[in-house]
Amino acid sequence: MSDLLTRRDFVGAATGMAAGAVLGGTPAPRAAAPTITVPPAGRDVVIASSNGLRAVERAGQLLAQGADPLDAGIEGVKIQELDPEDTSVGYGGLPNEEGVVQLDASCMHGPTRRAGAVAALEGIKTPSEVAKYVLLYTNHILLVGEGAKRFALSYGFKEENLLTDKARAIWLRWRANRGAADDWLDVPADADLVARPTGTINCNVVNAKGEISSVTTTSGLAWKIPGRVGDSALIGAGQYTDNDVGAAGSTGRGESNIKVCGAFLTVEFMRRGMKPTDACLETLKRVLTTTEPRLVDEQGQPRFGLTFYAVSKNGEYGSASFFSGNQYAVWEGDRAGLRDCAYLYERRRGGS
């Protein structure tokens, strides 16, 4: 006999059981309780690129105090933006080819489904916070260049020189050695020349209620053509949040990520049931399918670096890079630490 009961059978069985109890007869056998699937409970988790160890710790502490996940994430990345020793973001970030620091940032707030971003922003130390103001106070998503700076100044942000002595010295060494036939004198070979660095911090946050947010901030590719905007300022590329699923973001070669809308794609892979790490790996594979031959070596491996980071609504997290040896920062429970990224390729000696 089938274990499944129709509604009429169920009502009839229940009536018989009640009657048997009242009349003193033998009760009918009890039907098995239906199976109920309970989704995993959420938890406070913050995940970021490896340069965001202090960021995830600060964001995690704020989450524990009940802070909104976007506020927590931005307060975390501001530590790096305000650090003059960090040449990857904000104040102290490495400049474009003309020696001007131009900053990009974007953010998304899952509960309200809102987003904000700024690009090629000059003179303001904390572009992540300006991006949040775009989210909060405008009907726009992305402000750029002089307009972004005027918007920031209208809200009381202070215009300052972002080119530190440290970053300027690195830029001058690059400029002196950029061409064998130019009119600049080469500096000594042991001058600690920085050839083509990139720098970004992505931070994704989820709290125990399953509320999610993400933020990415950068000074971009060092020595870039003035006005260049990478993936960090673009919603769906540098970061993306869907409050029903999770959040993701990236660091590395922005141009390659933009072509696949990598953060959005990673979240979509999670929507289809992939774990965060698997989703990051799948996005990297998609990037390779859109990479032009000049950026791939003889073994079919990319000549550039790219890393994705992701967290799901229930607090699962993961990260993946093209090459081994990379790490990412995580805050969970009550502490922050570094984890090893998953990867597609073993790093070769002298490789990417």
Tokens of 306: 């790219």
Cα 308–Cα 218–Cα 121 angle in degrees, nearest 5 = 140
What amino acid positions are annotated as catalytic residues?
A: 200
- Per-residue confidence (pLDDT) for residue 199, from 0 to 100: 72
Helix (H, G, I), strand (E, B) or coil at 211: coil
Between the alpha carbon of residue 340 and those of residues 67, 313, 321, 323, 344, the distances in Å are 28, 22, 10, 11, 13
- CATH of range 45-345; options 3.90.1150.10, 3.20.20.100, 3.40.50.620, 3.60.20.30: 3.60.20.30
**pLDDT for position 13:** 44
At 30, is the pLDDT very low, low, confident or very high (cuts 50, 70, 90)?
A: low
Residues in a beta bridge with 46? 205, 331
Q: Is the pLDDT of residue 251 over 80?
A: yes
pLDDT tens profile 175-228 = 887 765 555 545 554 444 444 455 799 999 999 999 999 999 999 999 999 999
Q: What is the per-residue pLDDT across 218-233, written as a single tens digit (0 to 9) for each? A: 999 999 999 999 999 9
Q: Is residue 321's pLDDT more than 70?
A: yes
Share of the chain above pLDDT 70, in %: 82
Whether residue 24 is predicted with pLDDT greater than 60 in this model: the reply is no
Grade residue 29 by pLDDT with cuts at 50, 70 and 90: low
DSSP sequence for 57-102: HHHHHHHHTT--HHHHHHHHHHHHHT-TT-SSSSTT----TTS---
What average pLDDT does the chain have?
Answer: 87
> How many other β-carbons are positioned within 10 Å of the β-carbon of residue 278?
17
Average pLDDT over residues 155-171: 96
Question: Which residue, 47, 352, 48, is CA-closest to 200?
Answer: 48
User: Which position has the higher pLDDT, 246 or 4?
Assistant: 246
pLDDT at 350: 55
Judged by average pLDDT, the poorest of 8-12, 76-80, 206-210, 291-295 is: 8-12
What digits encode the pLDDT tens for the residues 252-302? 999 999 999 999 999 999 999 999 999 999 999 999 999 999 999 999 999
User: Could you give the 3-state DSSP secondary structure of residue 350?
Assistant: coil
**pLDDT classification of 108: cutoffs 50, 70, 90:** very high
Q: What's the confidence (pLDDT) of residue 230?
A: 96
Q: Domain spans of the chain? A: 45-345
Asked if 247 and 204 count as a contact pair (C-beta separation under 8 A), the reply is yes
What is the average pLDDT across 140-154?
98
pLDDT of 67: 97
Task: Please report the beta strands in 71-211, taking only residues with DSSP state E, as ranges in sequence order.
Answer: 103-109, 114-121, 142-144, 200-206
DSSP 148: H
Separation between Cα atoms, residue 165 and residue 204, nearest integer Å: 31
Where b means 16+ CB within 10 Å and e means fewer, 91-121 reads bbbbbbeebebbbbbbbbbbbeebbbbbbbb
